[in-house]
Chains A and B, each alone.
Chain A
Amino acid sequence: DAGVTQSPTHLIKTRGQQVTLRCSPKSGHDTVSWYQQALGQGPQFIFQYYEEEERQRGNFPDRFSGHQFPNYSSELNVNALLLGDSALYLCASNLIMGGNSPLHFGNGTRLTVT
């Protein structure tokens, strides 16, 4: 049973560029959430997708956008990259139906903006 998978594992981009990160949820899960983890900090919630719609959003600017596909996989897009966007981006999945199961996390994508 595959867990949450993310790609790529590492990425280096230049300030001002755009980036797309990808996530496949754990089998049987229908909801995907994205978190940003800066170095030495706890993860911070970016947004959550369910039924292909953004359901909740944290305190992140519109430069951060996402998408969920019919197979429940998801993308995180960040436009106009800033140096401060350098972080580990974590995808997490769970099952909303039946009481909202705990999150399962992927290993993350390490984004470096130079």
Chain B
Amino acid sequence: GDSVTQMEGPVTLSEEAFLTINCTYTATGYPSLFWYVQYPGEGLQLLLKATKADDKGSNKGFEATYRKETTSFHLEKGSVQVSDSAVYFCALSDLQAGTALIFGKGTTLSVSS
């Protein structure tokens, strides 16, 4: 079945460092890909999405490109802030078929000043 694999955390960075969180997926169809963020004590918030190959999702300085050839959707940010500390989840779904989101296990990011 469909699945998502994320890099293990935690990821610890200093403020203004470059961030990459790797995500690869396995899917039988043509899924949409998502990054969700979960701040402490809160639910998940949609960070960005991409619905087809070569699409780039972006939001709040974060970017991810849908790479069909490598089945990847890596999250990047050029300069992280302390406020970016959270758990990041990669997920996939076939939106047109109305299928449920399948999540990775999450990657904890901790940014220090």
Chain A contact residues: over half helix, strand or loop, or mixed?
Answer: loop
A71 in contact (CB, < 8 A): no
Q: How many A residues touch B, CB cutoff 8 Å?
A: 25
Whether the pair B104, A45 counts as a contact (CB closer than 8 A) is no
User: Could you mark each residue 1-40 of chain B with 1 if its beta carbon is under 8 Å from any beta carbon of chain A, else 0?
Assistant: 0001000000000000000000000000000001010000
Whether the pair A105, B105 counts as a contact (CB closer than 8 A) is no
CB distance from A42 to the nearest CB of B (A): 3
User: Could you mark each residue 89-114 of chain A with 1 if its beta carbon is under 8 Å from any beta carbon of chain B, else 0?
Assistant: 01010001001101111111000000
CB distance from A8 to the nearest CB of B (A): 14
Whether the pair B44, A90 counts as a contact (CB closer than 8 A) is yes
A24 in contact (CB, < 8 A): no
Highest count of chain A CB atoms <10 Å: which of B44, B95, B103: B44
Collect the chain A residues with CB atoms within 8 Å of residue B105's CB: 40-42
Given A33-B100, A41-B106, decide whether A104 and B89 contact each other with a Cβ distance below 8 A: no
Bound form: Cα–Cα A93–B14 in Å: 35
Q: How many B residues touch A, CB cutoff 8 Å?
A: 23
B41 in contact (CB, < 8 A): yes
When C-beta atoms are compared, the residue in chain B nearest to A96 turns out to be: B98
Given A41-B106, A102-B34, A102-B49, decide whether A107 and B42 contact each other with a Cβ distance below 8 A: yes
Collect the chain A residues with CB atoms within 8 Å of residue B34's CB: 102
User: Could you mark each residue 10-28 of chain A with 1 if its beta carbon is under 8 Å from any beta carbon of chain B, else 0?
Assistant: 0000000000000000000
Q: Which listed residue (B46, B89, B100) contacts A102, Cβ 8 A? A: B46
Highest count of chain B CB atoms <10 Å: which of A4, A40, A105, A106: A105
B113 in contact (CB, < 8 A): no
Highest count of chain B CB atoms <10 Å: which of A43, A92, A105: A43
User: Could you mark each residue 29-49 of chain A with 1 if its beta carbon is under 8 Å from any beta carbon of chain B, else 0?
Assistant: 000010100001111110010
CB distance from B107 to the nearest CB of A (A): 10
